[in-house]
Amino acid sequence: MNEFALIRQHFAKAIVNDDVALGIGDDCALLIPPSGKHLAVSMDTLVAGTHFPEGMAAKHIATRALATALSDLAAMGAEALWFTLALTLPKADEPWVGEFCESLLHFADTHNCALVGGDITRGPLTVSVQVHGAVTPNTALKRSGAKPDDIIYVTGSLGDGAAALAVLQQKFTVRRSSQDYLQQRFYRPTPRLQEGQLLVGTASAAIDISDGLLADLGHICDASGAGALVNVNRLPMSEHWRSSVSLDKALDWAVSGGDDYELCFTVPREKINTVEEWIRQGRLKATAIGKITANAGIFMVNNGKTLEFDVEGYKHFD
């Protein structure tokens, strides 16, 4: 089966929304941008052996690829609209593509995000996803808005991505229910789209945690010309794995592990009550972990003692 046949048989059946004037099958898709909105666009690439283990099931690669890309839209407070896909395959494996496509389109439908085009070519297994979203002008959550004394929050739990990878690599064992939880967190991370949109107008800055809390909070601090003080005792970690490792390992995974795709965001003091009320109501699962400081640098403290972490997030070319 050549690439055109694969597209016709699997990808051309993608469900499209009313904002797609022309979808898959022509040289370009024709899209209808929401009136009065800014388009938010981001692209992520996943390479076998680097971003997911060799031999990982096609269905899991599909959901991971789209989820990690949608997480960028969540960090900006954007609504997901469309995405395009570039798929590089070692060979035209029709059953593999069928499994990949079925999982991809189902996951896309759950987030109301339509596949509108892309490309298939031959080479080492690589998946590139470009997502398109919409946000009201001058409301997007950016990295550069944090101010001294803003409170730092994170959604969900940290360290799950690193713990999951250790389980997949058979370097770490947990009970079956916890193994299922961690595999789900790795194969199908949750893009915090609803949380990101909820935070528009309240958070002063935001980023998704892909390279680790230390590295990604560092991006907020660099863009905002500020620093941060983080209380590591406040870091939320899942009991699915936390009780099975030492404190040092747990903190290392939570601070530097990456692949959590949670949101790290900052909130001005005068808006803290709003966020805390959302948390009490169950509308937002988030934890306050520290504050933004005027002085540069990120300080991780435990009972007044500053901790040092060697790893500062994944870097492709180090």
- Known binding-site residues equal 27, 42, 44, 51, 72, 118-119, 143, 208, 210-211, 259, 314
Helix (H) or strand (E) holding 247: helix 247-256
- The DSSP line for 163-223 is HHHHHHTTS----HHHHHHHHHHHHS----HHHHHHHTTT-SEEEE-SS-HHHHHHHHHHH
Q: What phi, psi does 280 have (nearest 5°)?
A: -65, -35
d(CA 208, CA 261): 6
d(CA 301, CA 305): 5
Question: Which residue positions form the known binding site for ATP?
Answer: 118-119, 143, 210
Question: Which residue positions form the known binding site for Mg(2+)?
Answer: 27, 42, 44, 72, 119, 208, 211
CB burial of residue 312 (10 Å; 0-12, 13-18, 19+): middle
The first and second tokens of residue 109, run together, are: 């439908």
Question: Which residue positions form the known binding site for substrate?
Answer: 51, 259, 314
d(CA 211, CA 314): 5
Q: 79-89 and 114-122 as β-strands: parallel, antiparallel, unpaired?
A: parallel
d(CA 46, CA 316): 12
d(CA 34, CA 54): 39
Residue 223, CA distances (Å) to 24, 76, 104 in order:
38, 14, 34
Query: What's at 220, amino acid-wise?
Result: I
